[in-house]
A = this chain, B = another copy of it.
Amino acid sequence: MAKITSVSPLAPESFPTLPVIPGVRFAAVEAGVRYQGRKDVMLALLDPGSVMVGVFTRSATRSANVLDCQAKIGLDSDAGAAIVVNSGNSNAFTGKAGEGSVAAICEAVAKITGLPAERVFTSSTGVIGERLPHDRIIAKLEDLNAQLDDKALDMAAKAIMTTDTFAKGATASVDIEGQRVHIAGIAKGSGMIAPDMATMLVYIFTDAKIGRADLQAMVSRINDKTFNCITVDSDTSTSDTLLMGATGTSGVDVTGEATFEAALHEVMQNLSHQVVKDGEGATKFVTVNVTGAASDADARTHALAIANSPLVKTAIAGEDPNWGRIVMAIGKSGAAADRDLLSIRFGDVQVAEHGWVAETYKEADGAALMKKPEIDITVDIGLGDGKATIWTCDLTHGYISINADYRS
């Protein structure tokens, strides 16, 4: 069972007030899948006419739920959709039994809601390799269906938590030709967080009207700049799933609307940053900017090498402006670099340039910056125009405590 001893020091002050998205309702119950005394299963039901899209982990050992979602997500359908999520058990590496569990849940949901089974999407998160007690979930479906409420998205955000120390929600709205559309999303994730297509569990809803292919392309595009740009521990989950449903109930067509894409980007970036801020044991939120690389891909390789380096992450935990470890990470990344062209800044402080510490750099300035809860590291490679930004957290005793004891 998760050891949730205290809330991350980087948590937002409060959970946001999420707007009602007409056309989608939520419920959450205690099913006792693994955790006791807390809600651990959520149901979201989207009305007929809703559009569903998603992005998923590329792990070669992804869960039965992910494989099932991937098989269904590309279908065009006006029938509506359901999303069922449990915490406490990931149903990953559970062989044919895992596929059976997914099928059993989908069929039971279909029977109760009247949806076709191919419009039921499931996610499971928690321990890997233990058989999912899907009967416990199925036994609660009638209750879930009876409690559906368009104001219960916040309750769903709590039900999907595992090692998370706070529930994660974000919202945005945008006016298009005088009409308002809303976006509301929730996410869970704290450890086993590294970018590879999608990451963790994320559910986003909007009342905008947009075609499936257009929305899928938009979500994939934004995903590459948000969830695919975060890392807590370089480990990639077998369950990573982002599902988005557009009910169309606002009647506002957002196809090709840059303001809508910007608002969705804001929601997805906000949720992805909350996941990093709830990184297991995290005490610092770190933005790693790399510019001047030979290509964007090289910039990403450098930024990930810095963000995933245990030595960089422990230095940040220790509030040590140890820029030598950043040099080390760039050196090992495999992407092109020239020692004498590197430039490193912490916040606005120039730390290193011309292959050595900057003449103007004072250790006290670097040390002062490292005491802040949010730290920007900027590296200019000096070779070209490639750039990338990766968000990460520090590596602390808290991470060791959580993961040497908790089976996830």
The tally of residues in A whose CB lies under 8 Å from a CB in B reads: 68
Does A238 have its Cβ within 8 Å of any Cβ on chain B?
A: yes
What would 28 A/B residue contacts be, using CB atoms closer than 8 Å?
A60-B331, A60-B338, A61-B330, A61-B337, A92-B327, A93-B327, A93-B355, A94-B355, A95-B339, A95-B340, A95-B354, A233-B310, A234-B309, A234-B310, A235-B311, A236-B328, A236-B332, A237-B328, A310-B395, A310-B399, A317-B404, A320-B405, A324-B407, A325-B408, A395-B400, A396-B404, A399-B400, A400-B400
Does A59 have its Cβ within 8 Å of any Cβ on chain B?
A: yes
Q: Looking across the interface, which residue of chain B has its beta carbon closest to that of A232?
A: B310
Q: Looking across the interface, which residue of chain B has its beta carbon closest to that of A61?
A: B331
> How far is it, in angstroms, between the C-alpha of A59 and the C-alpha of B130 when the chains are bound?
42
> How far is it, in angstroms, between the C-alpha of A82 and the C-alpha of B205 when the chains are bound?
69
- Known A237-B328, A314-B399: A355·B404 in contact at CB below 8 Å: no
> How far is it, in angstroms, between the C-alpha of A342 and the C-alpha of B337 when the chains are bound?
38
Minimum CB–CB distance from A357 to chain B (whole Å) comes to: 6
Do B403 and A314 touch across chains, with their CB atoms under 8 A apart? yes
Do B315 and A403 touch across chains, with their CB atoms under 8 A apart? yes
> How far is it, in angstroms, between the C-alpha of A296 and the C-alpha of B399 when the chains are bound?
33
Q: Report chain B residues within 8 Å CB of A337.
A: 60-61
Q: Looking across the interface, which residue of chain B has its beta carbon closest to that of A321?
A: B407
Q: Which residues of A contact B (CB under 8 A)?
A: 59-62, 90, 92-98, 127-130, 191-192, 194, 196, 233-238, 308-311, 314-315, 317-318, 320, 322-325, 327-333, 336-340, 342, 352, 354-357, 395-397, 399-401, 403-405, 407-408
Task: Report copies per complex.
Answer: 2
> How far is it, in angstroms, between the C-alpha of A336 and the C-alpha of B330 when the chains are bound?
27
Beyond contacts A59-B331, A310-B403, A315-B403: 15 other A-B pairs, Cβ-Cβ < 8 A, are A60-B333, A61-B327, A61-B331, A92-B327, A92-B328, A93-B352, A95-B355, A128-B328, A194-B332, A237-B328, A310-B399, A314-B403, A317-B400, A322-B408, A397-B397
> How far is it, in angstroms, between the C-alpha of A354 and the C-alpha of B325 when the chains are bound?
42
Do A324 and B129 touch across chains, with their CB atoms under 8 A apart? yes
Contact pick for A331, options B62, B322, B331, B407, CB 8 Å: B62
> How far is it, in angstroms, between the C-alpha of A238 and the C-alpha of B339 when the chains are bound?
11
Q: Report chain B residues within 8 Å CB of A128.
A: 324-325, 327-328
Do B60 and A336 touch across chains, with their CB atoms under 8 A apart? yes
Do B355 and A318 touch across chains, with their CB atoms under 8 A apart? no
- Known A323-B129, A404-B317, A404-B318: A235·B309 in contact at CB below 8 Å: yes
Do B395 and A328 touch across chains, with their CB atoms under 8 A apart? no
Minimum CB–CB distance from A291 to chain B (whole Å) comes to: 17
> How far is it, in angstroms, between the C-alpha of A403 and the C-alpha of B301 when the chains are bound?
23
> How far is it, in angstroms, between the C-alpha of A167 and the C-alpha of B260 when the chains are bound?
62
Q: Report chain B residues within 8 Å CB of A130.
A: 357
Question: Of A308, A309, A328, which is in contact with the most chain B CB atoms at under 10 Å from its CB?
Answer: A328
